């Protein structure tokens, strides 16, 4: 693409954002834009999937809600750029300068990229922020599950409410940053600096802290279950006053939950597996109804025939997981990663809530897949009646013979979706199907 064509498309994109009839959404996907000066450009909602943006100047650029899936932004300058709610799945930001950038509610999880010449298959691409500069960046609520952030500088950054489950943060400098209510379970903070940080309400279950500097940090209400704090530097750090409980073994939690289900709550205990690593396990046929698995890692586990009625799986990782025939009625799957998962004949329908007396209330609770990643997922013959798929990413998904009666698909990305036999094939889904390549 020539400089003239790029400028022309940027102008058309501005018109598209303004709702003018001669506008056109900018699509730079898979193009090589290395070294371009795009400072202060308005690329809000632009498509930049797989785009090479190495050494670009994007200072002050507006990339809000832009799709930068598996893009290469290494060594680029993004100072004070707006990346709020941007899709940065699998993006390469190594040695990028994001000082003062706004990444609030951005998605930086691992991604799957379809590469030409490989049969359209999806290859796993990890988000790389290694040695990047994130000083004073706003990353509130950002999803950085298993992101690679070794050696980065994020001094005085706001990471409150962010998800960093399993993230690699070794040797990074987070001095004076805000980690309040952040999920750091299973993350590796080895030799990282968190001096003067606010970790109020942070979930640090099974976090690696060898050599981590927590000097003068506030950990008063942090969850430090199974965290060997003796291996960290704790000069004048404020620790919880209540003794921390030891994390319960997975098998014990699952057995107690089974009893809770069988006795209808009279004995046993409802499972809380938030942030647990349950990957590569055979858990087929289990009943997880009512359990909490927020941020849990279930990658490539066998969960076929499982029951997840009214279960919380928000921000969990279920990449390439087998969920064939699973009952996920009323399940919370907000921002859950189901890329490559097998959901054939799964039920993702609404559940009628019962009152305190066990009587039906008439109130329905739908399965919520808002902003879920379902790339290349197999949803053939699945029942998605009334499911909420707002802004879900369904690129390359198989929806053949699926039921989508009253499903909400506003803002969903359905590029390359297989729609044959979808019921009902109404005007909304038909329009989306026509737009898909």
pLDDT tens-digit series, residues 280-326: 999 999 999 999 999 888 989 999 999 999 999 998 989 889 999 99
Strands (E), 290-366: 351-354, 360-365
- 3-class DSSP assignment, residue 197: coil
List the one residue out of 285, 315, 309 whose CA is nearest residue 298: 315
List the one residue out of 206, 170, 413 whose CA is nearest residue 295: 206
Print pLDDT tens along the chain (437 aa): 888 999 999 999 999 999 998 999 999 999 999 999 999 999 999 999 999 999 999 999 999 999 998 899 999 999 999 999 999 988 999 999 999 999 999 988 876 554 433 444 445 556 789 999 999 999 999 988 888 999 999 999 999 999 898 899 999 999 999 999 999 988 999 999 999 999 999 999 889 999 999 999 999 999 988 888 999 999 999 998 876 666 778 899 999 999 999 998 899 999 999 888 898 999 999 999 999 999 888 989 999 999 999 999 998 989 889 999 999 999 999 999 998 899 999 999 999 887 777 777 788 999 999 999 898 899 999 999 999 999 998 988 999 999 999 999 998 988 889 888 787 755 456 565 555 44
| Radius of gyration for the chain, computed over Cα atoms and rounded to the nearest angstrom | 22
For 248-437, CATH number out of 2.160.20, 2.60.40, 3.30.1360, 3.40.50 equals 2.160.20
pTM of the model: 0.75
Q: Where are the domains of the chain?
A: 248-437
Neighbours of 400 (CB within 10 A): 17
Neighbours of 313 (CB within 10 A): 27
- According to DSSP H, which parts of 51-185 are helical? none
List the one residue out of 110, 115, 76 whose CA is nearest residue 93: 76
Question: Degrees (nearest 5) of the Cα angle 52, 53, 54?
Answer: 100
Q: Is 12 exposed, middle or buried (0-12, 13-18, 19+ CB in 10 A)?
A: middle
402-429 residue pLDDT tens: 999 999 999 898 888 988 878 775 545 6
Q: Are 275 and 165 a contacting pair, CB within 8 Å?
A: yes
203-213 residue pLDDT tens: 998 899 999 99
């Amino acid at each position: 693409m020539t400089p003239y064509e790029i400028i022309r498309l940027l102008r058309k994109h501005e018109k598209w954002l303004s709702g003018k009839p001669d506008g056109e959404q900018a699509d730079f996907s898979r193009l090589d834009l290395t070294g371009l000066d795009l400072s202060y450009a308005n690329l809000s909602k632009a498509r930049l999937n797989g785009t090479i943006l190495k050494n670009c100047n994007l200072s002050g650029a507006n990339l809000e809600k832009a799709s930068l899936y598996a893009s290469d932004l290494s060594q680029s300058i993004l100072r004070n750029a707006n990346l709020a709610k941007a899709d940065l799945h699998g993006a390469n930001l190594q040695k990028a300068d994001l000082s003062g950038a706004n990444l609030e509610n951005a998605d930086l999880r691992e991604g799957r990229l379809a590469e030409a010449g490989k049969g359209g298959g999806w290859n796993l691409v990890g988000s790389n922020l290694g040695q990047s500069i994130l000083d004073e960046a706003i990353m509130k609520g950002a999803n950085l599950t298993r992101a690679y952030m070794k050696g980065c500088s994020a001094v005085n950054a706001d990471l409150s409410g962010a998800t960093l489950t399993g993230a690699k943060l070794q040797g990074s400098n987070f001095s004076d940053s805000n980690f309040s209510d952040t999920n750091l379970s299973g993350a590796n903070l080895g030799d990282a600096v968190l001096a003067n940080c606010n970790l109020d309400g942070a979930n640090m279950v099974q976090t690696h802290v060898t050599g981590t500097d927590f000097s003068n940090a506030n950990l008063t209400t942090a969850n430090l279950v199974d965290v060997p704090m003796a291996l960290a530097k704790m000069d004048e750090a404020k620790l919880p006053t209540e003794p921390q409980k030891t994390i319960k073994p997975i098998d014990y939690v699952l057995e107690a939950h089974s009893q809770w289900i069988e006795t209808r709550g009279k004995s046993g205990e409802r499972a809380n597996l938030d942030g647990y690593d349950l990957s590569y396990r055979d858990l087929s046929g289990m009943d997880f109804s009512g359990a909490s698995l927020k941020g849990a890692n279930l990658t490539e586990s066998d969960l076929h025939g499982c029951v997840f009625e009214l279960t919380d799986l928000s921000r969990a990782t279920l990449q390439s997981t087998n969920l064939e025939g699973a009952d996920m009625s009323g399940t919370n799957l907000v921002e859950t990663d189901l890329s490559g998962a097998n959901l054939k004949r799964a039920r993702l329908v609404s559940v009628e809530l019962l009152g305190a007396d066990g009587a039906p209330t008439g109130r329905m609770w739908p399965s919520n897949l808002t902003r879920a990643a379902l790339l290349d997922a197999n949803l053939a013959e699945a029942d998605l009646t009334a499911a909420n798929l707002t802004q879900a990413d369904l690129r390359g998904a198989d929806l053949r013979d699926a039921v989508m009666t009253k499903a909400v698909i506003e803002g969903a990305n359905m590029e390359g979706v297989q729609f044959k036999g979808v019921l009902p094939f109404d005007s909304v889904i038909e329009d989306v199907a026509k737009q898909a390549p």
